[in-house]
């Protein structure tokens, strides 16, 4: 597992071939299509995340694409477009945005196209 600890800021694109845990800040894109991404409490993502599963305990602003599901825990603060076949949100979590559960494959193709452009 790759861990980005509190106090570290990463700007750009992260290509992950293993699960990723973020306690710091990522400004850009996380690509972990075959693995899970966990945004820890106190962590922040400003950008896009594509993963098998995405769990949010911190602050996320941007776009999420999950092949299996997204979990927003009670400490999550999210402003995002979410595309995933399943989404779960605990009491206390804050979400402002949109959810699309039917078009995950199309969203993956669009994300791949945008990366090439």
Is the distance from CB of 39 to CB of 23 less than 8 angstroms?
no
Quote the mean pLDDT of the chain.
Answer: 92
- 5-47 pLDDT, tens digit each: 999 999 999 999 999 999 999 999 999 989 999 999 999 999 9
The residue segments making up the domain with residue 95 are: 2-116
Domain count for the chain: 1
Phi-psi region of 68 (alpha: psi -120 to 50; beta: other; left: phi over 0): alpha
């Amino acid at each position: 597992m790759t861990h980005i600890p509190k106090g570290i800021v990463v700007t750009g694109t992260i290509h992950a071939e293993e699960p990723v845990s973020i306690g710091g800040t990522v400004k850009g894109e996380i690509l972990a299509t075959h693995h899970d991404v966990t945004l820890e409490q106190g962590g922040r993502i400003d950008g896009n995340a594509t993963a098998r599963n995405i769990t949010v305990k911190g602050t996320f602003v941007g776009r999420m694409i999950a092949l299996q599901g997204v979990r927003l825990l009670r400490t999550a603060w999210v402003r995002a477009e979410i595309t995933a076949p399943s989404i779960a949100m605990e009491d206390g979590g804050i979400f402002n945005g949109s959810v699309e559960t039917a078009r995950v494959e199309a969203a993956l193709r669009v994300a791949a196209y945008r990366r090439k452009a």
